[in-house]
Amino acid sequence: DSGLLPERASDDLEDIEHEMQVKRLSEALSTFHREPLGITPIIGYVIAKITEVRNLRMLIRAKETGIQNNDTIRRNLVMEHR
């Protein structure tokens, strides 16, 4: 037993998943500079585009459902931290 309440465990898993997505995006974008003539920049580009589409879909859903809290929206976007 981890001692976490089920809803808290769910929040922790969401945070972990979000951080993993951000890390994946960062790694994908860094491939453009490490190996510019290989296949990895193509894979990085595809991962970046998939992330962009997911972010756009999330923004559209937020607008459709009337979510006005910008902090909630920003927290759910997957973007590279700079």
Question: pLDDT band at 1, cuts 50/70/90?
Answer: very low
Answer whether residue 1 is part of any domain: no
**pLDDT tens-digit series, residues 16-50:** 888 999 998 888 888 877 877 888 888 888 998 99
State the total domains in the chain.
1
pLDDT of 6 above 70: no
Whole-angstrom Cα distance, residue 59 to residue 49?
A: 15
List the domain range (segments joined by +) for residue 19: 6-76
Question: Where does residue 51 rank: exposed (0-12), middle (13-18), buried (19+ CB within 10 A)?
Answer: buried
Helix H or strand E encompassing 46: helix 40-65
Whole-model pTM above 0.85? no
